[in-house]
Chain A
Amino acid sequence: MSCERSDGIKRLGLIVNPVAGMGGSVGLKGTDGKDILQEAIALGASPRAPLRAAEALEELSLRKDGIEIFVFSGDMGASESASAGFRTVLLGAGSEGRLTSADDTVMAARLMEEAGVELILFAGGDGTARDMVMAVGTRVPVVGIPAGVKIHSPVFARNPAGAGKLADLFLFGSPMGLEELEVMDIDEEAFRGGIVRTSLYGYLRVPFERRHLQGGKSGGGKSEAVELDGVVREAASRMTPGVLYLVGPGSTTAALMRRLGCEHTLLGVDAIRDGRTTGKDLSEKEILKIVEPGNTRLIVTVIGGQGFILGRGNQQISPEVVRLAGKENIMIISTPSKLRSLIGKSLFVDTGDTLLDMELCGYIRVITGLGEETIFRVER
């Protein structure tokens, strides 16, 4: 983490992906890749992200004297920062007439990290979030200003004003926690063809407001770390010798693997048996080779804010894999914090196999703590 300046001035990074969101208005479902972008411009799309970034900065306008904003020049943030009247520090050149690409975002974020910013606000969509994962990962706190067509990742605030408010609270409010949230993205090519294929690309660290401040009555509150410890201990206690476990992607399942002392991949499907990793980052084909009908259990977690347990970010666990393992052999693990917004609502499956999805619908138990399960309705 960066150090605070002795004069109390906060350092904020601002990255605007000027082309984010341009595909949406002309029905192109995203602008990842140069050809598509050219097409969007040809169809008359106009930049949307700069306006969204300006909306977010508006929330910080009372703090003008207390912030220094680090930017790339031109339409990557400099003009928004300067025209809103903030002290603006140029770290490099943005597009300057040419079209920006993912490399510009990555470069800007890395230079901001070096400059010691306390937070980066970035305006874009899921593709921009992926660039942020590549650039700074979980090293620098970030807040996403939703400006893209695809917003599947929970790292984005609900609207630009929300992103500005969160930045304000983080920089000037009482101390806040940070949580690692998923960066999800869909395959745009497939999406244009009408197929939703979402993958998990990594995690970013986002400030979060305490949603569960404790009153004096109910005793000790549990931080998410403590909850997570309970969940993985419960899951570990239910594992049986000799059984093959296929462990899906996500930070919750990764915590289980750490507890078991198993090598693992954060974003892939791993296989373990008797506490040892027998396969890492397996593809569907590789899984089908090793799966043992009647002796295989799947361990998955709820991915993203929308409550998907199968079909988002873990497509390697294909309908065929689920059928071979048996749908009664799916173990779902999640901390209560991750599920809080979903309680009383539903979890979702979208395996691509309608019949299987229908079979999976109904009520399902989710391991939510030591000796504890919470019931959820599953829909497709």
Chain B
Amino acid sequence: MTKKLRPFHHMRWNEPIIYQLSVSGQRGILVPEAEEEIRAIIGDGRSSIPDTMRRNDLPNLPEMAQPQVVRHFNHLSQENLGADSNIDIGQGTCTMKHSPKINEIFARSPKLADLHPLQDPSTVQGILEIFFRTEDLFREISGLDCCSLQPGGGTHGVLALASMVRAWHRDRGEDESRDEVITTIFSHPADAAVPKVKGYRVIILPPDEEGLPDLDAFRSVVSERTAAIFFTNPEDTGIFNSRIREFTDLAHEFGALCCYDQANANGLLGIARAREAGFDMSFFNLHKTFSSPHGCGGPATGLVMVDKKLAPYLPVPVVKQEEESGLYYLDWDLPKSCGKVKDFFGVAPVVVRAYAWIMALGADGLEEASRTAVLNNNYFMKKMLQIRGCSLSYPNHPARIEQARYSWEKLKEETGFGTADVQRRIADFGTHYWGSHEPWVVPEPFTIEPSESYSREDMDEYLEIMAEISRECYEDPETIRHAPHNSTVHHIDHDYFDDPGKWAITWREYTRKYEGYFRKR
């Protein structure tokens, strides 16, 4: 570690929302009038649109000139922090990695951007072929048979799985009697939340002394009432459950389905598959692992793979190829389908980036990406554990895959500062880190995932920041207590933000909450 810490300061523009910048009459582009001869043939254009389809009012769009628009969005981007602007390894479980810019060019190409999902399939054979071939690639990656690219995110992928679980048991007349779903405490919280949304009673398994899901606890609850198990592996601690087959076999003995949350797949590509672990279904996040940027609710895809016995229950439509003509088409004829989980058939730019990324790397390249991610994690872990006050969760199980959950428990005991304090201070160094998913079973937790994109120098720089913050906790408490110093936001009252009656992160949420959503109930 030789690099010097950067004297960073975050940008603050106090940028208004774009509607507040609107000035009536301002224009970004003046569209030329149609020529006389065109007008002679077409007329005014407008009157050829039927009355019922023609809008009478102008759309409510901001009115701005080009330079103000450019400035506005530049300001917003400067207030942002993301994988393209910082060493983004502190957001463990999120697999923040670099998306090659060539894939962005593909995704933004007019050949893709100008398509519409309602076009006749005969006019979009190219994108359908990419969907179809992507399914092929994931057949190899997962070992499972059939695919849906419809879900628009990871949690949405869980929803697709849970919907298929319902459809499968309903078809067998067991929907009423199978009312329980089993998950583990270190699986992603969506694996508990989504089955609840589907009406299941969710049973959460604790970890054993090694941090692995407690197999005896599982034995005590799995039964004819179990509809499915939803497991993440490796779990959010970075620990790989190598006894997973015992869980899936036991679940199958009782007639339950096994659902695999493979959002944490970045350390397993080409190394371990859902099929061999005994899972019937799985989903992958094409965003994060496969070259679409992760985060901010942006375009994403939770690609679903299922065993062929579950193919009739996939969401409709599915992309298929006619044997004779070789043409691709959308198959809606799945009478047992769980239905639609999203409009149309998938988020095309995300699928294109994933396809391009996999094709560029090849099978060997995927495996090397995973091996590099695991190597990075182990390098980082070794150095991180040398920093004063830091320890590894479940030290009885020191092997971790692509991420690791750490604890500042000792730091807290010795200095009074914990993970929330470190989180505030790290903003002063131009990067960030994230506490960990609920529930905080590991005291004062944080989770680091240095994916294959990061160089040794990147990791060393991040480690240097962590070491400096630890030193300050012991030697310079006032600096920590009042941090962040170089950021735009300082101490905030979390209780206020956690009050479900008050927070509103979208305009729709705001109107629901502040205009009677709660009162209506």
Contact = CB atoms under 8 A, between A and B. Distances in A.
Interface stretch (A184-192, A217-225, A271-279, A302-310): A217-225
A344 B416 contact: no
Nearest to B441: A343
Interface in A44-65: none
A215 B435 contact: yes
B161 interface: no
A376 B206 contact: yes
B19 interface: no
Most chain A CB neighbours (cut-off 10 Å) among B211, B221, B435: B435
A375 B203 CA distance: 7
Given A340-B441, A363-B217, A363-B221, 11 more contacts: A211-B443, A217-B295, A217-B437, A220-B503, A222-B500, A343-B185, A344-B185, A362-B220, A363-B220, A374-B185, A375-B203
Given A365-B203, A375-B220, A375-B221, A223 B438 contact: no
**How big is the B interface, by class?**
35 or more
A371 B439 contact: no
B498 A375 contact: no
B493 interface: yes
A368 B185 CA distance: 12
Contacts of A377: 206, 214, 217
A176 B30 CA distance: 56
Interface in A356-376: 362-363, 365, 368, 370-376
A130 to B, nearest CB: 29
Interface in B427-442: 434-441
A327 interface: no
Contact of A221 (B202, B220, B481, B498): B498
Nearest to A340: B439
Contacts of A293: none
A259 to B, nearest CB: 15
A165 B443 CA distance: 18
Nearest to B197: A371
A213 B435 contact: yes
A193 interface: no
Nearest to A168: B416
Interface string A199-241: 0000000000111111111101111001000000000000000
A61 to B, nearest CB: 13
A363 B493 CA distance: 39
Interface of B: 91, 93-94, 185, 189, 192, 196, 199-209, 211, 214, 216-217, 220-221, 295, 416, 418-420, 423, 434-441, 443, 481, 491-495, 497-500, 503
Given A175-B493, A374-B185, A375-B220, A214 B204 contact: no
B439 A212 contact: yes
Contact of B436 (A215, A363, A368): A215
Nearest to B204: A374
A146 interface: no
Counting from the closest, the 6 A-B pairs by CB-CB distance are A363-B220, A215-B434, A371-B196, A221-B498, A374-B204, A375-B217
Contacts of A365: 203, 221
Contacts of A165: 416
A174 interface: yes
A177 interface: yes
Contacts of B295: 217
Nearest to B294: A217
Contacts of B221: 363, 365, 375
B436 A177 contact: no
Given A223-B498, A371-B201, A340 B440 contact: yes
A218 B155 CA distance: 11
Contact of A222 (B211, B435, B498): B498
A177 B495 contact: yes
B202 A223 contact: no
Given A215-B434, A217-B91, A222-B498, A368 B204 contact: yes
6 contacts: A214-B498, A218-B438, A221-B494, A343-B206, A344-B207, A363-B220
B206 A220 contact: no
Contacts of A344: 185, 206-209, 211, 441
B494 A213 contact: yes
Chain A CB within 10 Å, residue with most, of B208, B418, B440: B440
Contacts of B211: 344
A336 interface: yes
Contact of B204 (A217, A226, A373): A373
B480 to A, nearest CB: 12
B93 to A, nearest CB: 8
Contacts of A220: 498, 500, 503
A210 B202 contact: no
Contacts of B500: 220, 222-223, 226
Nearest to B416: A165
Nearest to A337: B439
Contacts of A375: 203-206, 214, 217, 220-221
Contacts of B492: 174
Nearest to B192: A372
Contacts of B440: 211-212, 340
A221 B201 CA distance: 21
A157 to B, nearest CB: 12
| Interface hub of B205, B491, B495 (most chain A Cβ within 10 A) | B495
B437 A218 contact: yes
Given A174-B491, A365-B203, A210 B439 contact: no
A313 B498 CA distance: 32
